[in-house]
């Protein structure tokens, strides 16, 4: 974590930048917008600008502006796997909406094809795919987020989204305008370049019976409710599982369940989750993450790696 300087908290935007952003997005750009409401942890300071982009053309214009001005930018999905620093994010935070939320499903020679915009809600994607009998969609059921964020994270359970990908469409500042990308999928990560926005994803499933798919999905959702604190603000599993083991098991056995730091708590239900009990700051969560990691290292000699992405300015000084 970095100690904050006044410079790290100072906006990167000039008045002329604000005017350009308003010209592209109208009132869908908000300045000095707190990011906490846009994350599942409900934590995070302000973005210099939060840009809600509704179609490919707007996205291309915005990315061209970022390139021309060498402006820092970052894309947020549903914010369900990120810890945003209390000092917020300098530059532009991009959030897809409008056309990008669309989900279309069709049959193709006995297979089920899901064509979704980059901000499509995974709950809608999985519900529509299940109705069409997409075999394997149950493994993605109950994972909060957008399809773009899920693709970058290669989200999943026993099966991951990457296994079902047919096409990925992206834009980037160096190549605005939608085009196809080739991506490899690894455990909770992908080779998607850091400076690309996923604007559309096409998934492809074997066809099965709707009844079987729905009942498998239902079983998984019930299990999730029983084993995860889904009613509290958190970001799911904080650490990746180390090879051959479970991070939750190591954390629990290191005695960390229920540990608190300010308003943050290691979940008593699932040791790899950290809950915001209402007033947690990013600093509380980051401090708890460091304590948990140290405890697991001391007890098991295992170095846990973060699954959640840390973004923005973290403030050390109180
Ligand atoms: C209760 C709970 C349970 C969870 N269970 C699971 C689980 O079982 N399995 C699992 O894998 N994860 C799980 N997660 C984590 C999270 O839901 C997934 O990682 C999800 O796919 C993240 O999607 P998002 O849209 O919220 O991405 P964000 O958190 O907004 O972003 C994650 C990363 O993706 C990038 N990103 C977002 N959108 C785009 C885009 N359009 N183009 C390019 N990059 C983008 C962001 O910059 C960031 O680096 C859980 C989270 C919660 C809160």
Per-residue pLDDT of the chain (318 residues; tens, 9 = 90+): 455 677 888 999 999 999 999 999 999 999 999 999 999 999 999 999 999 999 999 999 999 999 999 999 999 999 999 999 999 999 999 999 999 999 999 999 999 999 999 999 999 999 999 999 999 999 999 999 999 999 999 999 999 999 999 999 999 999 999 999 999 999 999 999 999 999 999 999 999 999 999 999 999 999 999 999 999 999 999 999 999 999 999 999 999 999 999 999 999 999 999 999 999 999 999 999 999 999 999 999 999 999 999 999 998 755
Which of 79, 144, 159, 181 to probe ligand 1 with, by most ligand atoms within 8 A of CB? 144
CA dist 181 and 162 (Å) reads 13
The first and second tokens of residue 65, run together, are 């502006």
Catalytic residue among 40, 119, 139, 237: 237
End position of a domain, from candidates 198, 227, 256: 227
- Containing domain of residue 75, as a range? 6-99
Pair (169, 272) in one structural domain:
no
The single-letter DSSP state of residue 225 is H
| Ligand 1 in reach of 61 Cβ (< 6 A) | no
Quote the ligand 1 centre to 232 CA distance (angstroms): 17
Ligand 1, atom 21, residue with closest C-alpha: 150
Pair (92, 106) in one structural domain:
no
Quote the ligand 1 centre to 169 CA distance (angstroms): 18
Whether 199 sits among the annotated catalytic residues: the reply is no
End position of a domain, from candidates 70, 99, 128: 99
| Ligand 1 in reach of 162 Cβ (< 6 A) | no
Pair (49, 112) in one structural domain:
no
Quote the ligand 1 centre to 26 CA distance (angstroms): 28
Residue 202 falls inside a structural domain? yes
CA angle 138, 142, 145 (to 5 degrees): 120
Ligand 1, atom 45, residue with closest C-alpha: 149
On whether the CB atoms of residues 33 and 46 are closer than 8 A, the answer is: yes
Pair (121, 91) in one structural domain:
no
pTM of the entire structure?
A: 0.96
CA dist 199 and 99 (Å) reads 10
Nearest atom within ligand 1 for CA of residue 152? 34
Which helix (H) or strand (E) covers residue 231, if one does?
Answer: none
CA dist 294 and 17 (Å) reads 43
**Residues facing 96 on adjacent strands:** 53
Nearest to 293 by CA among 242, 227, 224: 242
| Number of domains comprising the chain | 3
């Amino acid at each position: 974590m970095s100690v904050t300087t006044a410079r790290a908290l100072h906006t990167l935007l000039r008045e002329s930048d604000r005017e350009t952003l308003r010209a592209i997005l109208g009132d869908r750009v908000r300045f000095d917008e707190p990011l906490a409401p846009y994350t599942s942890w409900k934590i995070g300071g302000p973005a210099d600008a939060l840009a809600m982009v509704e179609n490919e053309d707007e996205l291309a214009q915005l990315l061209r502006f970022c390139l021309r001005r060498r402006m820092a930018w970052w894309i947020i999905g549903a914010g369900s796997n990120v810890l945003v620093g209390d000092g917020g994010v300098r530059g532009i935070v991009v959030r897809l909406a409008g056309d990008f939320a669309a989900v279309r499903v069709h049959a193709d020679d006995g297979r089920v094809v899901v064509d979704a915009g980059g901000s499509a809600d995974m709950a809608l994607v999985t519900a529509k795919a299940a109705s069409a009998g997409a075999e394997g969609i149950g493994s993605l059921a109950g994972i909060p987020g957008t399809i773009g964020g899920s693709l970058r994270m290669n989200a999943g359970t026993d099966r991951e989204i990457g296994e079902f990908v047919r096409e990925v469409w992206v834009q980037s500042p160096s190549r605005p305008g939608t085009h196809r990308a080739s991506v490899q999928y690894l455990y909770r990560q992908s080779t998607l370049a850091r400076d690309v926005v996923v604007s559309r994803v096409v998934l492809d499933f074997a066809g099965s019976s709707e009844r079987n798919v729905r009942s498998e999905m239902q079983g998984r959702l019930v299990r999730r409710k029983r084993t995860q604190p889904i009613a509290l603000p958190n970001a799911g599993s904080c650490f990746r599982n180390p090879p051959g083991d479970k991070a939750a098991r190591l954390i629990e056995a290191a005695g960390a369940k229920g540990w608190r730091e300010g308003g943050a708590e290691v979940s008593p239900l699932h040791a790899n989750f950290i809950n915001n009990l209402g007033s947690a700051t990013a600093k509380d969560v980051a401090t708890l993450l460091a304590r948990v990691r140290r405890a697991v290292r001391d007890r098991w000699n295992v170095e846990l790696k973060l699954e959640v992405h840390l973004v923005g300015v973290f403030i050390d000084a109180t």
